[in-house]
Amino acid sequence: MLKRIIRPLTLAICVTLLATTVFAGAPKYVFYFIGDGLGPTQRMAAELYNKMETNNPDAKLVMNTFPNTALVTTYSDNTLITDSAAGGTALSCGYKTTNGYLAKLPDGTNVTTLAEAAKEKGFAIGIVTTTRLTHATPAAFSAHNTDRNAADAIAIDQANSDFDFFAGGGYRYFVAKNNKKGLKSKRKDDKDVVKMFADKGYTLFVGDSTRDAFRSYTPKKGDKVFAALAYSHIPYEIARRNSNLKENKIPALSEMTAKAVDSLAAQDKPFFLMVEGGRIDHAAHAHDAASTILDTLAMDAAVKVAYDFYKKHPEETLIVTAADHETGGVGLGISMDSKGYFLNLKALEKVSVSAEDNLNGFYNKLAKKESNLEKRHAAFIKYIESKWGLTDRTESENKVLTDAMNVQDKNQSLPKAEKVSYGYSYTPTMVAVTDLVSQRSRVFWTSFVHTGTFIPASAIGVGAQNFNGFIDNTDIPTRIAAAIGAKLSTDKKTDSKALLGKTYGPQEKYAKIPYNK
């Protein structure tokens, strides 16, 4: 009798162990999504806006449905508030470093990036971003430098990386001066980095005119792709939605992600793909609630591309979503009325342009065209009514706008050092408008820069159970590397734990770095 019980029990245990072993195997396909500046409130605001926009109270961000979640600390080696270079390095290499450093320890030692380690394991590698490709986060996976602003050198590192797929913006640091295509270059040397990619056999999509070709391109085995589709950053998602200009033709982040998946999958080997929603951070710096939300939704649409792939390969795929830091110190529900606490995200539906790319310089351009102050003010009011939905204004709102215009009028005659500005040289009129729109939607900002709050991470797939609880940003790449059997190492043995919290204030070197967000 006992034997009859034990045999089926033993068989059941063996079957269970076998199933567990299969699930616990190394993932063949790894997706790593990084939302620059994407804190928990940004994710929540985007989900609430999506419910409203789709008229579906059950709608959720795809990344918010993943079963494994963690809260992640983000401080860097030299300050409690990280920048994107040190944050990107932590997420890429598993080591804390000094703000401004890319894939290097504070002493300048090179650190192996997760992308490099995966390549050594035979993975095809892809990098996709809505920022310039030489920007901090993509650079932290594909370059090594103690200066995040050394874009000329970063571009060369990327050409030498031999990664399989690049897509994003910033062709200005790759094209040579006086190039035959007539593309504007910002390189300070005579290097033709595009030619470096070409000589290595990459299929090239460089410049605005190549966007349609990129979209229609069908990858095949053996192809490597370099796509720099914009002079600077990829335009905000709000431009794609509302503009009839060329911005509307640029592929969305989800399209670039899908093209990367097609290209990497065509190589018939494992792949690692890092995708950055980079302009979430830029929008939050500018207190642009609408663009912050829409670029978060754009990133989530890219996550859905990976999730659809995962559903076809559930026992071979790992998806991890994270962020380098939170930006703006954003909160929801800044006031209440007789009916209680509430949000009014519907006020953001009337916004049709981004703050940083449009509003920040609008008044100064207007001042050059119109010398009559009364006409200038009237033209500005007409603009914000049309593009920002600021109609039916209260007396106090009108005063805020008038005061901002008066300050900016005075700015016209002042030397640069004496001009009134906010954050990253944001104009008084821009700040007045974005804050009024935010107040109408009941969104509250505490900072123009990064904050030290926890960021959320979520995961699904093979090994996703390792991304739970309270963890540090350096734990994420370490655990991804362990899942695929890759090794993150340096050419100088350094215990990252020994680096934590050496100093908690700005260092002189950090304070002098001219960060370009």
Q: Give the domain CATH number at 320.
A: 3.40.720.10
Identify which has the larger pLDDT, 167 or 5: 167
Query: Using one digit for the tens of pLDDT, what is the confidence trace for 135-161?
Result: 999 999 999 999 999 999 999 999 999
For the chain, what percent of residues have pLDDT higher than 70?
Answer: 88
On the question of pLDDT at 492 being above 70, the answer is no
Q: What's the chain's length in residues? A: 517
Task: Note whether 61 and 127 are same-domain residues.
Answer: yes
- How many other C-beta atoms can be found within 10 angstroms of the C-beta atom of residue 168? 26
Task: Note whether 320 and 349 are same-domain residues.
Answer: no
Q: What angle do CA 373, 378, 381 make, to 5 degrees?
A: 125
**Total of domains in the chain:** 2
On the question of pLDDT at 134 being above 50, the answer is yes
Name the least confident of 53-67, 273-287, 417-431: 417-431
Per the CB < 8 A criterion, the answer to whether 298 and 277 are in contact is yes
**What six digits make up the tokens of 163?**
């990664």
Which is nearest to 375 in space by CA: 366, 385, 388? 366
Average pLDDT over residues 443-461: 96
344 domain-assigned: yes
Task: Note whether 433 and 464 are same-domain residues.
Answer: no
Distance (Å, whole) CA 339 – CA 354: 32
Per the CB < 8 A criterion, the answer to whether 247 and 238 are in contact is no
Average pLDDT over residues 343-359: 94
Per the CB < 8 A criterion, the answer to whether 208 and 269 are in contact is no
Task: Note whether 293 and 429 are same-domain residues.
Answer: no
Q: How confident is the model at residue 445 (pLDDT cuts 50, 70, 90)?
A: very high
On the question of pLDDT at 393 being above 50, the answer is yes
Task: Note whether 130 and 277 are same-domain residues.
Answer: yes
483 domain-assigned: yes
Q: How confident is the model at residue 342 (pLDDT cuts 50, 70, 90)?
A: confident
The tally of CA atoms less than 13 A away on the side-chain side of residue 503 is 10
Q: What's the DSSP call for residue 392? A: S
On the question of pLDDT at 493 being above 50, the answer is no
H or E segment and range at residue 321: strand 317-323
Q: How confident is the model at residue 249 (pLDDT cuts 50, 70, 90)?
A: confident
Distance (Å, whole) CA 200 – CA 202: 6
Distance (Å, whole) CA 317 – CA 484: 11
3-state secondary structure 241-272: HHCCCHHHHCCCHHHHHHHHHHHHHCCCCCEE
Task: Note whether 189 and 295 are same-domain residues.
Answer: yes
Note down the domain range covering 503: 26-330+449-490+498-512
- The pTM for the full model equals 0.90
Q: How confident is the model at residue 24 (pLDDT cuts 50, 70, 90)?
A: low
Task: Note whether 246 and 115 are same-domain residues.
Answer: yes
**What six digits make up the tokens of 446?**
């505490």
Q: How confident is the model at residue 25 (pLDDT cuts 50, 70, 90)?
A: confident
Task: Note whether 236 and 250 are same-domain residues.
Answer: yes
User: pLDDT at position 338, please?
Assistant: 54
Identify which has the larger pLDDT, 169 or 16: 169
7 domain-assigned: no
On the question of pLDDT at 512 being above 90, the answer is no
User: pLDDT at position 7, please?
Assistant: 46
Average pLDDT over residues 375-389: 97
The tally of CA atoms less than 13 A away on the side-chain side of residue 497 is 1
3-state SS assignment for residue 96: coil
For the chain, what percent of residues have pLDDT higher than 90?
Answer: 82
Q: How confident is the model at residue 226 (pLDDT cuts 50, 70, 90)?
A: very high
Which is nearest to 438 in space by CA: 388, 508, 496? 388
224, β-bridge pairs: 202
Q: Is 29 exposed, middle or buried (0-12, 13-18, 19+ CB in 10 A)?
A: buried
Identify the top-confidence range among 3-12, 236-245, 279-288, 508-517. 279-288
User: pLDDT at position 337, please?
Assistant: 60
Work out whether the CA dihedral 381, 386, 387, 389 comes out positive or negative.
Answer: positive
Q: What's the DSSP call for residue 61? A: -
**What six digits make up the tokens of 491?**
């050419």
Q: What's the DSSP call for residue 229? A: -
